[in-house]
């Protein structure tokens, strides 16, 4: 149910999410499990509603923090779900992490030892996934350090190395696969190193959304699917490369961001709009005031350039976006009234405002557009 008292809210399509899971699964190699990456509030779409919508169709969840993992564990039907914490977890949180039955990334001996100690004190086993540094220069164990690292981890009795993984640095924004292939070869060498140390992880994973679509050789045992779960392409080039390969994958954006018209007012030609008097209307106009602004996540750089949808037609943002309000030009749209729905992101009628369009205006990527929508705004699952 959409809260009739809400002035700004998000609608997330269950059918789009489940379609995207199916579309990407169809590209995976047989035996490859599907991880729904729902970190950062499910890329802005809402952790709880997204997880509940796809839980029966995925094999794993990936999160960034213990807090996110605990929220998932508390949802109906997710008590036994496999959840991997991909981000940094402070040592003080290792005991509740292990107690909750969550998997954790490990890339340094201090973390490995702390998790082992926590597990031993609880009389359980901590399942971990070793992150290998293959060329992103982010979290990860350098391959040269891996033999000694593996030998020491193998001596920790309450630690089980369940997984090994890496992350690609240059697979979305290029048609040159040479660096990705270099990383893949380093990852395969790391697996051999672990095997030589007597460690044989059962879950090998390297696949992100783009790799899931473009490089079957990266699929291994598990595909970590983030941005494309939500119907968004990791880059325009990923889509182009997929089409060039002759592979079809239809993604359906799941998110619609809405607000309501707070006021409609007649404005004479030459009247300045909003702070700084940065824009004046050049004709007698009708201006709609919207109760949404940069606090909500509607970027201030969309001032005077962004557009929204009113009655299925585009309406330009006028002047500067304010903290909690913004103004749009509805002069050419007949019959606009206070209380009407406005679409900030998504489809209305035959028109669409995409995350990519907003990203282009503000010089960023679609990931940032959706993840920066204020997490306090209500998220509603719709069909």
d(CA 2, CA 341): 12
> Reduced to 3 states, what is the DSSP secondary structure of residue 372?
coil
Count CB atoms within 10 A of the CB of residue 250.
8
Contacts 24+ apart (CB under 8 A), 359-368: 361/301, 361/302, 361/305, 361/306, 362/299, 362/301, 362/302, 363/301, 365/235, 366/227, 366/232, 366/233, 367/43, 367/227, 367/232
Contact in structure between 371 and 1 (CB atoms under 8 Å): no
What's the pLDDT at 1?
A: 72
Catalytic annotation present for 82: no
Q: CB 380: neighbour CB atoms within 10 A?
A: 16
Write down the H helix ranges in the chain.
14-25, 39-43, 47-54, 66-73, 94-99, 109-122, 146-153, 178-196, 209-214, 236-244, 355-362, 366-371
Spatial distance between the Cα atoms of 240 and 249, rounded to a whole number of angstroms? 11
> Does 71 qualify as catalytic in the annotation?
no
Ordered structural domains, the chain, with CATH: 14-244 (3.20.20.10), 255-353 (2.40.37.10)
- Which residue in the list 39, 82, 131, 258 is annotated as catalytic? 39
The per-residue pLDDT for 89 is: 98
DSSP for 232-261 reads: --S-HHHHHHHHHTT--------EEEEEE-
- Per 3-state DSSP, what percentage of the chain is helix, strand, and coil (rounded to 5)? 35, 25, 40
Tell me the pLDDT of the chain (383 aa) as tens digits. 788 899 999 999 999 999 999 999 999 999 999 999 999 999 999 999 999 999 999 999 999 999 999 999 999 999 999 999 999 999 999 999 999 999 999 999 999 999 999 999 999 999 999 999 999 999 999 999 999 999 999 999 999 999 999 999 999 999 999 999 999 999 999 999 999 999 999 999 999 999 999 999 999 999 999 999 999 999 999 999 999 999 999 999 999 999 999 999 999 999 999 999 999 999 999 999 999 999 999 999 999 999 999 999 999 999 999 999 999 999 999 999 999 999 999 999 999 999 999 999 999 999 999 999 999 999 999 99
> Which residue out of 71, 165, 179, 275 is catalytically annotated?
275
Does this model's pTM top 0.85? My answer is yes
- Cα angle, residue 200 at apex, residues 195 and 205 outer, rounded to 5°: 105
Distance CA 212, CA 221 (A): 12
């Amino acid at each position: 149910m959409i809260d009739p008292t809400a002035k700004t809210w998000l609608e997330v399509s269950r059918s789009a999410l489940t379609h995207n899971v199916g579309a990407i699964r169809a590209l995976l190699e047989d035996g490859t499990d599907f991880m729904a990456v729902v970190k950062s509030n499910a890329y802005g779409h809402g952790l709880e509603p997204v997880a509940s919508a796809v839980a029966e169709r995925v094999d794993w969840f990936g999160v960034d923090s213990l807090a996110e993992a605990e929220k998932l564990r508390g949802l109906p039907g997710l008590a036994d779900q496999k959840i991997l914490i991909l981000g940094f977890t402070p040592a003080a949180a290792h005991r509740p992490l292990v107690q909750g039955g969550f998997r954790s990334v490990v890339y340094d001996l201090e973390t490995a030892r702390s998790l082992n100690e926590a597990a031993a004190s609880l009389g359980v086993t901590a399942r971990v996934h070793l992150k290998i540094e293959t060329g992103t220069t982010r979290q990860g164990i350098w391959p040269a350090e891996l033999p000694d690292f593996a030998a020491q981890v193998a001596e920790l009795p309450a630690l089980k190395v369940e997984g090994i993984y890496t992350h690609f640095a240059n697979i979305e924004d290029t048609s040159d696969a040479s660096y990705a292939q270099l990383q893949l070869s380093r990852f395969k060498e790391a697996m051999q190193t672990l095997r030589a140390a007597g460690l044989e992880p059962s879950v090998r994973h390297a696949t992100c959304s783009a790799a899931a679509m473009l490089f079957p050789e990266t699929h291994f045992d598990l595909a970590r699917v983030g941005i494309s779960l939500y119907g968004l392409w990791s880059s325009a080039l990923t889509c182009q490369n997929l089409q060039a390969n002759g592979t079809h994958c239809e993604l359906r954006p799941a998110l619609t961001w809405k607000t309501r018209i707070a006021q409609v007012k007649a404005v004479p030609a030459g009247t300045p709009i909003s702070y700084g008097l940065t824009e004046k209307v050049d004709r007698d106009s009708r201006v709609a005031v919207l109760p949404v602004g940069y606090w909500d996540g509607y970027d201030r750089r969309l001032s005077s350039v962004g557009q929204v949808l009113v009655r299925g037609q585009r309406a330009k943002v006028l002047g500067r976006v304010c903290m909690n309000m913004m103004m749009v030009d509805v002069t050419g749209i007949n019959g606009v009234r206070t209380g009407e729905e406005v679409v900030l992101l998504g489809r209305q009628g035959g028109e669409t405002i995409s995350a990519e369009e907003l990203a282009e205006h503000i010089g960023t990527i679609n990931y940032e557009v959706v993840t920066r929508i204020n997490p306090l705004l209500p998220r509603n699952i719709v069909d």
